[in-house]
Amino acid sequence: MSTRERILDAAAEILRTRGVAQATTKEIALASEVSEPTLDKYFGDRERLLLAVLEERLPGLSRVSVRPGEGDVEDNLAELAHAVLDSYQRAIPMLGAILADRQRMAAHRTAMSRLGGGPDKAAGAFAGYLQAEQALGRVGAETDPDAAAALLIGGCFHEALLRYYAAGPGADAAPRTFAEFLARAVVRPLL
């Protein structure tokens, strides 16, 4: 494993288990067995390191490959929902501190915008998928893809937040069956 990967893994673990306040360069350097100047060499500063963790350790939809017209629409949406749910559940411990700090939030927004990411992208991806399925006749013409996507994404975020609230960063991952139930509840009326 490369030094950069070790640093990202250590930072992600500290963020997940102890929160952003404890994710100091000293703690991250100690956990990744490098010096603080090495962190600067790879990331420039703490903010860029934290953004790299969010960007690279929370892959979300990038790990799922579903194509309109292939497979079952409900199964495809369940696959997408499970990936988003997992990503949200891992992101919530990190996002709290970002949302609470205006300067950090502005830096995060800028970085996400530069990379084409952000919280709106998941809903946009779901809506785009549903629009493509709609064009193929596999989703009803009267369906509002944006509204359906918002319902599904909202359900994923809500479940992730409840799991974190109930058990903290050590909460069990939401089972795929939960994503399947969400997808079914949203999709069945659309078909």
pTM exceeds 0.75, yes or no: yes
Q: Quick one: CATH architecture of 60-190?
A: Orthogonal Bundle (1.10)
pLDDT at position 60 is 66
pLDDT digits (tens, 9 = 90+) for 64-107: 788 999 999 999 999 999 988 988 888 887 777 778 888 878 88
User: Which amino acid belongs to residue 105?
Assistant: M
pLDDT at position 62 is 64
Sign of CA dihedral 12, 126, 148, 110: positive
10, 25 Cβ separation under 8 angstroms:
no
Mean pLDDT, to the nearest integer, of 14-24?
81
57, 87 Cβ separation under 8 angstroms:
no
Q: Where in the chain is the domain with CATH 1.10.357?
A: 60-190
CATH no. of 3-53: 1.10.10.60
Contacts of 183 (CB under 8 A, 6+ apart): 74, 75, 77, 78, 81, 152
pLDDT digits (tens, 9 = 90+) for 31-58: 999 999 999 999 988 878 887 887 787 7
75, 150 Cβ separation under 8 angstroms:
no
Task: Reply yes or no on whether the pLDDT at 112 is more than 80.
Answer: no
pLDDT at position 152 is 93
Contacts of 139 (CB under 8 A, 6+ apart): 73, 130, 133, 145, 187, 190, 191
Mean pLDDT, to the nearest integer, of 123-147?
94
Q: Where in the chain is the domain with CATH 1.10.10.60?
A: 3-53
